[in-house]
Amino acid sequence: MNLNQETKIKNIWYFKNQQPIVEAKRKGESQNFYGALNMTKNNKDRSKCVAMSVDKQNSETTIKFLKKLLKIYQNKKIFLIWDGASWHKSKKIREFLSKINKNTTKLELFNFPPYSPEYNPQEHVWKALRQNVTHNRLEKDFSILIKDCLKFLNRTKFSSIKFENLFK
């Protein structure tokens, strides 16, 4: 996900016959995030998100995120379903997977169908992040906004998102 400092104005409740004033910024910094939502059934970590901020999304930063997941869920097999971003299919990613899965499969990847974010539970996490942290907010210090986003992502249980319900 890409977060930028441009203020997003959304509908809000306000006093009748009064116009709210929301300070807005049209240009600014941006930050990228990786996120993975644990959708395992009957697990204490179910509905928890693992998030990481990065300057850009590419093969190298994707591998860093995958290593983070492997460290958090060590001694467990990870089945990761993700979108079809070009860096997810790169030679570097394939080499990394071959190396870590050499003796036993630790990380198995599967792609969502192209152009179908509605099937991706992580998209619901990004939406919740925007609704709860970034909408109708101008943060002059962008680093504070990034910290607030990571805090929200890493501390919130997204139990209302049911993976099974996305395919009905």
pLDDT in tens, the chain (168 residues): 677 655 556 676 778 888 777 665 556 678 899 999 888 766 777 778 899 999 999 999 999 999 999 999 988 899 998 988 999 999 999 999 999 999 899 999 998 888 888 888 888 899 999 889 988 777 778 889 999 999 999 899 887 766 655 555
Q: Which 3 state secondary structure label does DSSP give 122?
A: helix
Backbone conformation region of residue 5, classed left if phi is above 0, alpha if psi is from -120 to 50, else beta: alpha
**The model's pTM:** 0.76
How many residues appear in the chain? 168
Give the span between the Cα atoms of 144 and 21, in whole angstroms.
22
User: What pairs with residue 34 in β-bridges?
Assistant: 52
| Architecture, CATH, for domain 34-167 | 2-Layer Sandwich (3.30)
Alpha carbon distance, N-terminus to C-terminus of the chain:
25
